[in-house]
């Protein structure tokens, strides 16, 4: 075997002649310490020699990653460990995966399996999409209708998915704390997302007064982009958001909170007396600027609580987003995220066409996901340094059970994990495909069933068929785009 079967691959590996039987390694020949002077708590040094195993890590996280690496090595060398030296650290500090628990909920026990897989792959951020038009999935005490009304919808009509039954529920605070603890044990931060000012139909169904029209509307049963969004001109709206965030912060101890900011049509704000008055009062020109102001206000509130905000890239349309908000790029034809990074802002790279795991393999084959370079075109030296990292989302409109979720997410999530950890010069798609063979049984042992190899990189004919089928399946009369 010429190369270690590691995923993600370690950045500096030196194989040395010789090996040591596993039976010879006991407590006395296992040395592990932390040296904080290395400056990177995720970095580690691992050596296997005739003296045994030695780990020097930059922090607890580094020690954990050294153990993950060692576990992967010992699985491919079950009897004798080869002599080697590894000096390793991640390419990016932010290596995330996102789960949409709104369109369809994943049971807590299955979420834990995903977290185990993420830990194996040295991912360190779990972005949890907990609110959207089709449901409210987070227990909130101060606004009980969010759970009594907003958590349930009257059916599900997402493209080819049709179901007239009531669907819903929410994660209790106890369950979410359990997930936060489970992640913390694996050096993963949970980043809850409360999506605003758009994608708020469920909350508006419970509390119509936070929308511009104040009219009663049902929790959405369709997928798409909807006109009713939060009223920025009503001071009650921000107060409610702050109250909710105060509860969210008490559940999740992590530094980041995602505040959405994507796909918010401005039709209601254009017609709303309160929103228009606020625009005049603030001396703003457009409704997009009002969104920038709104996101900044929420981010400043989080900052006053010692937290940091992340938004999707559409919030950059305002041209006045605070530089300390982290921007997650998913679809950005105007390259505003690149400009943001070049002028000092931090970005997370999640291009939908490469990293969205709910897309069929025919549209996004494994190798296409793997080959994407997170250093986006147009970034200058400073901008490249401002790429915080990568994240791979799974949206669940069309994913109704855990096996289907695993089929879509694995092994493509492993390709993104390697882009997050392994430096570009050390990445190689053919080599990755070879190393995957060892990863599959590891995933299976965690309760994850990845897609079979024949599905990873379909031929051009199958790609075409799958792409056509995908578009047919999402474009039905129930799909709403834009405005009513
Ligand atoms: Zn309004």
More confident residue, 160 or 271: 271
288: its two tokens: 């997009």
- What average pLDDT does the segment 97-107 reach? 98
Contacts of residue 161, Cβ cutoff 8 Å, sequence gap at least 6: 397, 398, 400
Same domain for 147 and 123:
yes
Whether 4 maps to a domain, the answer reads no
Helices H / strands E in the chain, number of each: 17, 19
Domain boundary among 88, 107, 137: 88
Give residue-wise pLDDT tens across range 371-406: 999 999 999 999 999 999 999 999 999 999 999 999
Count structural domains, the chain: 2
Q: Determine the distance separating the centroid of ligand 1 and the alpha carbon of 233, expressed in angstroms.
A: 5
Domain boundary among 88, 123, 147: 88
Same domain for 328 and 223:
yes
Residue 153's Cα: distance from chain center in Å? Answer: 25
Same domain for 228 and 285:
yes
Q: What is the pLDDT of residue 474?
A: 75
Same domain for 177 and 59:
no
Inter-residue contact 29 to 53 (CB < 8 Å): yes
Q: Determine the distance separating the centroid of ligand 1 and the alpha carbon of 135, expressed in angstroms.
A: 22
When the pLDDT of each residue in the chain is averaged and rounded to a whole number, the result is 95
Mark the residues whose beta carbon lies below 5 A from ion ligand 1. Answer: 212, 231, 233, 272, 274-275
Q: Determine the distance separating the centroid of ligand 1 and the alpha carbon of 282, expressed in angstroms.
A: 14
Whether 148 maps to a domain, the answer reads yes
Same domain for 443 and 320:
yes
Whether 38 maps to a domain, the answer reads yes
Same domain for 99 and 74:
no
| Catalytic residue ranges | 132, 199, 263
Give residue-wise pLDDT tens across range 318-333: 999 999 999 999 999 8
Whether 6 maps to a domain, the answer reads no
Same domain for 122 and 231:
yes
- What average pLDDT does the segment 115-137 reach? 98
Q: Determine the distance separating the centroid of ligand 1 and the alpha carbon of 212, expressed in angstroms.
A: 4
Whether 481 maps to a domain, the answer reads no
Q: What is the pLDDT of residue 78?
A: 87
Same domain for 238 and 115:
yes
Q: Is the pLDDT of residue 365 over 80?
A: yes
Same domain for 123 and 266:
yes
Domain boundary among 72, 88, 104: 88
Give residue-wise pLDDT tens across range 420-476: 999 999 999 999 999 999 999 999 999 999 999 999 999 988 888 888 888 887 765
Same domain for 261 and 372:
yes
Same domain for 141 and 37:
no
Q: What is the pLDDT of residue 27?
A: 83
Whether 5 maps to a domain, the answer reads no
Inter-residue contact 162 to 398 (CB < 8 Å): no
Q: What is the pLDDT of residue 475?
A: 65
Q: Determine the distance separating the centroid of ligand 1 and the alpha carbon of 2, expressed in angstroms.
A: 63
Q: Determine the distance separating the centroid of ligand 1 and the alpha carbon of 210, expressed in angstroms.
A: 8
Q: What is the pLDDT of residue 477?
A: 52
Q: Is the pLDDT of residue 231 over 50?
A: yes
Whether 3 maps to a domain, the answer reads no
Q: Say which residue the tokens 């002077």 belong to.
A: 37
Same domain for 358 and 225:
yes
Cα(249)–Cα(257) distance, rounded to whole angstroms?
Answer: 8
Instruction: Give the domain range for residue 44.
Output: 12-88
Q: Determine the distance separating the centroid of ligand 1 and the alpha carbon of 235, expressed in angstroms.
A: 10
CATH code of the domain covering residue 339? 3.20.20.80
Whether 246 maps to a domain, the answer reads yes
Q: Where are the alpha helices (DSSP H) in 43-187?
A: 60-76, 108-120, 145-148, 173-185
CATH code of the domain covering residue 16? 3.30.379.10
């Amino acid at each position: 075997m010429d190369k270690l079967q590691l995923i993600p691959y370690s950045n500096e590996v030196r194989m040395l002649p010789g090996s040591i039987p596993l039976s010879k390694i006991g407590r006395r020949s296992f040395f592990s310490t932390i040296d904080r002077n290395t400056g990177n708590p995720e970095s580690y040094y691992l050596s296997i020699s005739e003296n045994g195993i030695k780990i020097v890590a930059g922090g607890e996280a580094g020690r954990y990653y050294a153990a993950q690496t060692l576990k992967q090595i010992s699985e491919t060398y079950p009897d004798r460990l080869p002599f080697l030296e590894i000096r390793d650290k991640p390419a990016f500090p932010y290596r995330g995966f996102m789960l949409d628990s709104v369109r369809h909920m994943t049971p807590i026990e299955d979420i834990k399996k995903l977290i185990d897989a993420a830990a194996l792959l040295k991912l360190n951020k779990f972005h949890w999409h907990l609110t959207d038009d089709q449901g409210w999935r987070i227990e909130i005490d101060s606004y009980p209708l969010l759970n009594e009304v907003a958590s349930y919808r009257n059916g599900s009509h997402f493209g080819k998915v049709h179901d007239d039954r009531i669907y819903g529920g929410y994660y209790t605070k106890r369950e979410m704390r359990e997930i936060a603890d489970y992640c913390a044990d694996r050096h993963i931060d949970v980043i809850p997302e409360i999506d605003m000012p758009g994608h708020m139909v469920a909350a508006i169904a419970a509390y119509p007064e936070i929308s511009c029209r104040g009219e009663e509307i049902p929790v959405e049963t369709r997928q798409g982009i909807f006109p009713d969004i939060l009223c920025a001109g009503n001071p009650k709206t921000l107060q409610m958001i702050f109250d909710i965030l105060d509860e969210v912060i008490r559940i999740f101890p992590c530094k980041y909170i995602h505040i959405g900011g994507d796909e918010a049509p401005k039709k209601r704000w254009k017609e709303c007396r309160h929103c228009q008055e606020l625009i005049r009062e603030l001396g703003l020109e457009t409704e997009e600027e009002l969104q920038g102001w709104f996101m900044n206000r929420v981010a400043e509130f989080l900052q006053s609580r010692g937290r940091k905000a992340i938004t999707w890239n559409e919030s950059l349309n305002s041209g006045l987003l605070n530089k300390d908000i982290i921007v997650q790029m998913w679809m950005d034809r105007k390259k505003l995220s690149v400009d943001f990074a070049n002028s000092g802002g931090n970005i997370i790279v999640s291009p939908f066409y490469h990293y969205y795991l709910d897309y069929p393999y025919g549209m996004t084959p494994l190798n296409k996901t793997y080959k994407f370079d997170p250093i986006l075109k147009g970034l200058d030296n400073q901008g490249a340094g401002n790429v915080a990292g990568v994240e791979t989302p799974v949206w669940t409109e069309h994913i109704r059970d855990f096996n289907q979720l695993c089929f879509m997410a694995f092994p493509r999530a492993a390709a993104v994990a390697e882009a997050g950890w392994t430096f570009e010069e050390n990445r190689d798609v053919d080599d990755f495909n070879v190393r995957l063979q060892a990863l599959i049984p590891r995933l299976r042992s965690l309760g994850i069933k990845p897609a079979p190899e024949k599905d990873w990189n379909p031929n051009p004919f199958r790609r075409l068929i799958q792409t056509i089928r995908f578009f047919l399946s999402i474009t039905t009369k129930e799909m709403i785009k834009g405005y009513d």
